Structure 1
């Protein structure tokens, strides 16, 4: 069977009648996640809605469209009784995009095949960049340029794209046309799409009627896959226009950030990254020196504290490691935190094994974090928030006090100075 969407892909509205409607469930993709939903499988006498396309039936959004033998099955969230007259509306922006990309794929596939003998093994519509998998381990830059120039010349010639129906799927004439063969459950006529003077291929999809409607094609590059094949990255039609617009917007933003024109942005960005890496090295070295100094001040303090508690919002793993290394005393209870209070960061609880076992999970919970013991005398974790540092400080001191039967509260000592200092 040939649907109205295949006879006239440009039709945006159409009326038909419900042949059947039955309860069903299906899986749809929402925000990148598969979700199982309940609804109804609705089969119409004819349709302008095509699988993978969008649209509405009686203003009800169609969640999914699939083909089953000679029928198109529309999955709807609401019931429409059998015999009901319905009106359909196509999601035109999505439909026209698919028409542009699909016809561009046919054109590119034909040109690559004719010029170099590389077969298309599959293709992916994508959302921004279309990919065409070619049966060759590589496509040279000169070959890619030749293909791009040829397909755009075809577009400028405004070649027509014509669908033709062959009533008998066993017609020997069909053997002349390019294609991967018919589905095992195919019923009815066979559709052949012809780009005038370029290619004829078996295809049931929606297409534009003239190559000029593609506007232009840009081949971005290639990706090698499975050692034997190559993915060709393609921008066509309105996607190419949107991509060019976004690229120009980014170029303007980078010009302001890097203080230079587009032709120098790569050079300026490389220079900025190199400078940042050098600056980071200096900062890391100073942070390590600072950690060593803080431990030295703790050890030299006149009033010795029973715990070592330190927070630094600009600290990192190296800072923590230097503190632990310089302290050296595994019997000393320690709580070290780094990062922003509201944005979270990292923390370490270290000291006697039993104290770490008792306090580690509890402090981790205070920080709404995730962590685990490390070597028995240390608990490391990532904190979602560090706003409860005062409560963690108190918890550790109380635990130490209960364990040792008293001890200095630590108020005013060097170890409790958790406010960052330069």
Structure 2
């Protein structure tokens, strides 16, 4: 059994320990010590500590029953070792975890919303609360209460209680821990929860708790938040962005939302006007193209080769002419810098299956594409584009 020093003193940064067992595999040493300050990975939803053992980087920390296994790269030879954790990371995780307890307690007190699951992440953390929805006002009320708790600098206590004594405590949520003695984290007679994580000694050390977002999740609500230094960093970069945008828009920070809303509305109007102008322009281009049609046996043929034309625009023009004209065949070839493209279509009143013609031509020359009986399109090598256009013209005229 490994003595878990971090449960009794999470502020201890360095310690010496004795190697009890060691196994080397895959060029890594798996070490069990008599005691450790390293928190194991994702136990209770909390990430592992980083640090070193005899100046060798700790790659993983694994809880195996009552033992803690430390993984370092290489073969650790010594039987007495020195452990050192990354204190900045440890304190950050302590701030996040205690912040989670305070936030969960606030949801429970205000809205009787039980915390169903937690995840302490590398950038932000989440809690899943038993509440089908959450409003902006409710989130603000919870955040306000949570920060009042941190500002009050209440004592955060940890102690063990026999399992049969748990009913005497006003636990915020039931526990599934099967140990005979259950570790309790108490926030000064305000919140009680069974927990095996690392925590600060006073709520004031959490600093700030900020709810970032929330979303529906499996019929409940998942709340994303940051605490402590992460909350300060979040405020810092957002404040920098807001100041930059304020200068860009020559607007005060409190007026930015209205300014951006106005810009967005104006953008929508301009885009609508632009779409209308583009439609008008394409209709004009279509009418100009019609002047180049040639009639043969009572059918109009519009056959044209373009250099670096926009295939999307040409597709819209072809579709518009199909709708407005009768007895019209359109055959377009586009010669770009890299590849050839083609669009072949007919008006609805002509009884000809262009898809069948496409498959017939594809057996004679390499083309890629597809379509419908009324319109086909695709690509071909630039060197064969003239032949592709000629073949479609020949096959269509042979039928009509």
**TM norm structure 2:** 0.73
Q: Does the CA-based 8 Å contact 1:9-1:206 persist in structure 2? A: yes
Instruction: Call closer, same or farther: CA 1:312–1:134 in 2, change over 3 Å.
Output: same
| CA deviation after TM superposition for structure 1 residue 121, in Å | 1.4
Please name the residue that 2:269 is paired with. 278
What is the distance in 2 between the residues matched to 1:333 and 1:319? 11
| CA deviation after TM superposition for structure 1 residue 336, in Å | 5.5
Please name the residue that 1:203 is paired with. 195
Alpha-carbon deviations, 1:165-213, whole Å to 9, x = none? Answer: 45xxx542344342542445x5x85422222232232211111111111
Report whether the alignment pairs 1:96 with 2:97.
Answer: no
Instruction: Call closer, same or farther: CA 1:293–1:395 in 2, change over 3 Å.
Output: farther
Q: Does the CA-based 8 Å contact 2:156-2:185 persist in structure 1? A: yes
Instruction: Call closer, same or farther: CA 1:116–1:11 in 2, change over 3 Å.
Output: same
User: SS in structure 2 opposite 1:250?
Assistant: helix
Taking the TM superposition and a 5 Å limit, the aligned residue runs for 1:230-309 are 230-301=221-292, 307-309=304-306
Q: Does the CA-based 8 Å contact 1:120-1:133 persist in structure 2? A: yes
Query: How many aligned positions are there?
Result: 362
Please name the residue that 1:21 is paired with. 23
**TM norm structure 1:** 0.70
| CA deviation after TM superposition for structure 1 residue 126, in Å | 3.7
| CA deviation after TM superposition for structure 1 residue 70, in Å | 0.7
- Match of residue 71, structure 1, among 67, 72, 82: 67
- Match of residue 34, structure 2, among 45, 62, 85: 45
Q: Does the CA-based 8 Å contact 2:24-2:75 persist in structure 1? A: no
Please name the residue that 1:334 is paired with. 332
Gaps of 5+ in 1: 25-37, 365-371, 382-390, 406-422
Report whether the alignment pairs 1:117 with 2:112.
Answer: yes
| CA deviation after TM superposition for structure 1 residue 240, in Å | 1.4
Report whether the alignment pairs 1:215 with 2:204.
Answer: no
What is the distance in 2 between the residues matched to 1:224 and 1:209? 33
What is the distance in 2 between the residues matched to 1:71 and 1:224? 38
Moved more, 286-295 or 94-103: 286-295
User: SS in structure 2 opposite 1:158?
Assistant: coil
Please name the residue that 1:321 is paired with. 316
Alpha-carbon deviations, 1:20-73, whole Å to 9, x = none? Answer: 22437xxxxxxxxxxxxx966443333222222241334444444332201223
- Match of residue 375, structure 1, among 364, 368, 372: 372
Moved more, 302-311 or 9-18: 302-311
CA RMSD of aligned residues (A): 4.1
Moved >6 Å (runs of 4+): 302-305, 327-330, 361-364, 402-405
What is the distance in 2 between the residues matched to 1:253 and 1:337? 45
Q: Does the CA-based 8 Å contact 1:291-1:323 persist in structure 2? A: no
